[in-house]
Amino acid sequence: MTESLGMALDLAAEIHRLTPSGDPARDLDFVWDPMSRLVPFVASWIGTLDEDHCGYTTVASAGHDLDGLAYMESADLTAQRKTTGLLRRRRPVRLQDVPNAMELPCWSEQWWPIGFREVVAAPLVTPDGRHLGVLTLHTDTAVQPTVDARDAMVVIAHAMTAVLDPMNSLSGLARLVQGAVAAAAVDRRGTVVPLPGMPSDPLLIGRPDIVTTAVGHLSDQVRHTSFLFPIPADGGQQRYIRVTGLACPPGTSEEPVGLVVLSPAGDLRGLTFRELVVLGLVIEGYANQGIASRLSITARTAAAHLEHIRAKLSAPTRTAAAVLALRSGLYVPYGLVDNAGHGSASS
């Protein structure tokens, strides 16, 4: 093991031991001193790629003035990073590793005139291939960083990526759902994105209606939804899985808007499939006649279902039953019934 790799591994271990505070700049502030022993830099910077891939946001830095930071974040420099293939790389690269790099405006017009002579840029790439950001260290000598230091930077980049990846914090949020067996994030386009360390499930990938129902009503005011979805079971007995929608914490990321988490159904309080569907319709605001019309039953039968529901939930009124069912996720959304493939609303 080289001395450079040993120093990098020690620093990576310290980064992995971090307990994130929600302020990455403060969390990572300690890295500059040990990193300067690996690469004697005069300016350092960590930035994350913006949602539109046209610029970066500074996470932490040292040695750059305000003009330098603005340039590090700029669309112009981002375009040059793309030109050199940095957004496609997985390993650190130096200035001298890139053909004709000195011809780039960032060097001929920006960095060389102020005394920078070399740089190492370490892409922050997640295991699933997402370019999260970049770590750069500028030096005032062409002999630094060395090849060994450049290659050792990869372990530091991996550790920083784990700290900065919003999907890792979202995985922790998903695990707060009791008994969570699968989860995924959902972006603003409705695309389902796997979460690191969390299993996926065919329902999350192949059933966009479930995903939409879970996250479609999340907002600043509604941070949580929960309902039941019927799934096939041997012997004809109806089984359910609980679907939970969670709004992403403010500031976690611009991209994911919510999480969908699957977990065991829990105690159904003796409610039948039909009664769970009726509760879904009550929650949606339907009166007895509307419920009867959608389930192809009489209004009297709908009223009887509601009486049974109230008794099982110990609810004095239908409104109280609906509130309890909504808070507890004890209902099947009617919009999912006909598409569920596990029996229809009229069965």
Same-domain check for residues 103 and 220: no
Same-domain check for residues 102 and 77: yes
pLDDT band at 341 (very low <50, low <70, confident <90, very high): very low
pLDDT at 251: 53
Same-domain check for residues 301 and 231: no
Same-domain check for residues 147 and 16: yes
State the average pLDDT for the chain. Answer: 89
pLDDT at 173: 84
pLDDT at 344 > cutoff 80: no
pLDDT at 29: 87
**CA–CA dist 57, 60 (Å, integer):** 9
pLDDT at 343 > cutoff 50: no
Q: What is the pLDDT of residues 71-123, one digit of tens each?
A: 999 999 999 999 999 989 999 999 999 998 899 999 999 999 999 999 999 99
Q: Residue 109 sits in a domain of what CATH number?
A: 3.30.450.40
Q: In what order do the strands lie in the sheet with 239-247?
A: 192-194, 182-187, 256-264, 239-247, 224-231
pLDDT at 337: 85
pLDDT at 255: 65
Same-domain check for residues 277 and 323: yes
Same-domain check for residues 257 and 133: no
Average pLDDT over residues 163-181: 86
Same-domain check for residues 30 and 141: yes
Residue where one domain finishes, among candidates 241, 266, 291: 266
Same-domain check for residues 105 and 18: yes
Q: What is the pLDDT of residues 4-36, one digit of tens each?
A: 999 999 999 999 888 766 678 788 889 999 999
Same-domain check for residues 250 and 283: no
pLDDT at 22: 67
Residue where one domain finishes, among candidates 140, 164, 188: 164
Q: What is the pLDDT of residues 244-281, one digit of tens each?
A: 999 887 655 456 789 999 999 999 999 999 999 999 99
Query: What percent of the chain is predicted at pLDDT more than 90?
Result: 68
Residue where one domain finishes, among candidates 266, 287, 322: 266
**CA–CA dist 98, 92 (Å, integer):** 11
pLDDT at 25: 79
Q: Residue 247 sits in a domain of what CATH number?
A: 3.30.450
pLDDT band at 283 (very low <50, low <70, confident <90, very high): very high
Q: What is the pLDDT of residues 178-233, one digit of tens each?
A: 999 999 999 888 889 888 888 999 999 889 999 999 998 887 788 899 999 998 76
pLDDT at 166: 79
End-to-end CA distance of the chain: give it in Å, rounded. 68
Same-domain check for residues 153 and 283: no
Q: Residue 317 sits in a domain of what CATH number?
A: 1.10.10.10
Same-domain check for residues 259 and 340: no
pLDDT at 234: 66
What total of structural domains would you count in the chain? 3
Q: What is the pLDDT of residues 46-57, one digit of tens each?
A: 999 997 889 999
Same-domain check for residues 95 and 228: no
Range of the domain at 206: 166-266
